[in-house]
Amino acid sequence: MSDADLNALALLYHEFPRPGKISVESSKPCATQHDLSLAYTPGVAEPVRAIAADPANAYRYTNKGNLVAVITDGTAILGLGNLGPLASKPVMEGKGILFKRFAGIDVFDIEVDAPSVASFIETVVNISPTFGGINLEDIAAPQCFEIEAALQARLDIPVFHDDQHGTAVVMCAGLLNALEVQAKRLDDIKLVCLGAGAAGLACMRLLIAMGGNKANMTLVDSKGVIHSARSDLNAHKQEFAKETEMRSLADAMLGADVFIGVSGPRLVTAAMVQSMAVRPIVFAMANPDPEILPAEVHAARNDALMATGRSDYPNQVNNVLGFPYIFKGTFDARARAITQPMMIAAAQALAALAREPVPAEVLAAYGLDALTFGRDYILPKPFDPRLLERIPPAVAAAAAA
């Protein structure tokens, strides 16, 4: 199918048979006068009084404990940039579908037209009593760091910026398995990360927490290697500035074991891949067009392991493997925050699942005859039903530890 055909089909999908992708449905009967007396007045007064007496009762008598707010200001929509909150609504509705389909979690999508970071934060704080959790989405760096930190400090419900931490969890799970396949060690690899925004920094921080060696990590942004002599670095990038003679991406890629791309299309060349160490690992995760195409990587190196963010290539690094199940585990544990140990537990559970035999129903869903842990299968498939069985309990256990 051509891109033009796919684009036309996408518009039809979003418009018919009714506009949009999500709706609100009643979870209780409301067919008789008796039902109505329970759903609204006078019966509704009783749970109101119970919640006023003890706010924890909101989790017993309302959907608060299974309701996530997917909130954005539209400043970093997918790979499209700052197109504003209204244009982000299809993406936020899409997030709602994924929460519901994969973890049974309800979502209200909220697109905020805020004139400042402070006003965005206040808006979220003011509406937070409605929800059991906050999923921040498509908010540009570096303001996303300030927003997340402020909300985590002020709210008693979990706040999760999926572009940061969801990406980091799934990437780390995939990388653990890629290292296993390529016979390399996390604490020993030379790693290059292209992209020093929200996703790139979160990926590196989680890798370090899981045993990665920060000294062996080189971050590269649009101006080149992030080194200590640069005077244009914000505080978040300064955290990873290193003393080095390397200045360009090509410099950094020389002898690298692992490339992590969370940047933009076509920024990596075949020559750069050829300069990498033996059995290289290339995670080119820019969407929809990766930093380098798999065909180019495999033409340059027959010993490379390749992953992208796309579903039409093997080894898709897809956030849907993370956020629905992380929130489900968080809700099951009634946790007030999503902590680093919970994210590590999710990554490790994801990695472990990919090493198990793949059920026939998963093979059928993808039209495959076989799927075995190895160079072309390092992460579970999104429609694997075992994800709901494995990831939330691991997250809940880490929350309780």
* Phi and psi at residue 108, to the nearest 5°: -110, 125
Q: Do domains 14-157 and 162-401 have the same CATH topology?
A: yes
> What does the alpha-carbon distance between residue 189 and residue 398 come to, in Å, rounded to a whole number?
27
Specify whether the CB–CB gap between 382 and 391 falls below 8 A.
Answer: no
Residues with catalytic roles: 40, 95
Quote the tokens at residue 251.
């410099």
Q: Which residues in the chain show pLDDT less than 70?
A: none
- Write down the pLDDT at residue 27: 93
DSSP helix/strand/coil, 257? coil
> What does the alpha-carbon distance between residue 261 and residue 268 come to, in Å, rounded to a whole number?
9
- Write down the pLDDT at residue 103: 97
The average confidence (pLDDT) of the chain is 96
Strands 281-284 and 217-221: unpaired
The CATH topology of domain 162-401 is Rossmann fold (3.40.50)
State the CB neighbour count (10 A cutoff) for residue 306.
26
Specify whether the CB–CB gap between 325 and 338 falls below 8 A.
Answer: no
Specify whether the CB–CB gap between 306 and 292 falls below 8 A.
Answer: no
State the CB neighbour count (10 A cutoff) for residue 343.
24
Instruction: Tell me the pLDDT tens digit for each residue of 102-126.
Output: 999 999 999 999 999 999 999 999 9
pTM, 2 dp: 0.95
Strand pairing partners for 109? 70
> What does the alpha-carbon distance between residue 284 and residue 166 come to, in Å, rounded to a whole number?
16
CATH number of this structure's domain 14-157: 3.40.50.10380
Domain ranges of the chain: 14-157, 162-401
- Write down the pLDDT at residue 72: 98
- Write down the pLDDT at residue 1: 76
Torsion, Cα 249 252 258 260, to 10 degrees, reads -30
